[in-house]
Structure 1
């Protein structure tokens, strides 16, 4: 009786551990994806009555594309991945041995065992076959737009951009998070760029709420589908 109680306790403990291993749900306001504010310098007082006023000039030839920390860039998401893999394996092997012992010194050696006569003749016939077939096809597509901010400027001029977009729906939230490195030359005069131009890109598209929970296995099902389940 004690052994049964211990076994039930061990199984219950493993189920609890399997349920506690779920990753925390993402939430809006993550500090990593918060906008980075540019460093502001104190503005000197403007002199009244002067023809030139400091800070009031407008450059007609200055490039307005993002290049400083805190500037905003609109990224066009056009991500598509397609992968296909197929393997076929076939093995066929046949073995046959036929050895007939005629006579030894003019006699045919045999051995009587009950009502049977045993001789030294040997005959074997073996056949082995194996066939394997595996295939995998996967396709993903993500399109949309998201505006991000410049989080840092590397010494070589490459911009580190990062941002997120949250959309609250009736049955939960959907969000897009993106970060990566972008060359200033890949930014158009309208401050837009393609997501395919991002280096070391990290793009996350997921959701929370009832719709997202319906696509996730329960904690007990996840335990029985992991390597912890011994059967």
Structure 2
């Protein structure tokens, strides 16, 4: 009824309840607090020596004959590698509840695109949220999203400058050292 204090929508709330996201189509704000640091180092050393000598007693022994029947080989290898990476993603954006599982867990998905003068930035997130992790203001820390897939990508001049050129990438693939 128009003008009534009681809403006639299908989304009625009982007096004294909060409006936490719990249904398909509800909105949640994800607070991005991602930080990863990874380091890896590897080192390997190898060395091999071999010496062969054949002794044929009773045959005439000359220097040329002994050199022909003896031999040796030697090889050595040393390799080192190291990598270090650090990432940080902060901010917040709103996602939609796309499914409610049988146990009440919320499947969420969202996409935010920001067009800037020199390019585009995009953040996508999918994952599962437990209802008890949803705050009274419908906010959830990204560290509380299970099976989270967070994709952050950018295009434009700045992103292009941060990427190695195609010619250098080509030679990185075919060069054995």
- Higher strand fraction: Structure 1 or Structure 2? 2
1:86 matches 2:86: no
Q: Per the alignment, do residues 210 and 118 of structure 1 end up closer, same or farther by CA in structure 2, a change over 3 Å counting?
A: closer
User: In angstroms, what is the RMSD of aligned CA positions?
Assistant: 3.4
Q: Rg: which structure is higher?
A: 1
1:136 matches 2:83: yes
**Who is 2:145 aligned against?**
198
Q: Quick check: 1:172–1:210 contact (8 Å CA) kept in 2?
A: yes
1:63 matches 2:18: yes
Equivalences, count? 173
Could you tell me which of 61, 84, 97 is aligned with 1:150?
A: 97
Counterpart secondary structure, 2:158: helix
| CA–CA separation in structure 2 for the residues paired with 1:129 and 1:198 | 50
Q: Per the alignment, do residues 180 and 230 of structure 1 end up closer, same or farther by CA in structure 2, a change over 3 Å counting?
A: same
Q: Unaligned 5+ residue runs, structure 2?
A: none
TM-score scaled by structure 2?
0.76
Counterpart secondary structure, 1:188: coil
Q: How far has the Cα of 1:77 moved from its partner?
A: 0.4
Q: Quick check: 1:91–1:129 contact (8 Å CA) kept in 2?
A: yes
TM-score scaled by structure 1?
0.61
| CA–CA separation in structure 2 for the residues paired with 1:186 and 1:53 | 30
**Who is 2:170 aligned against?**
224
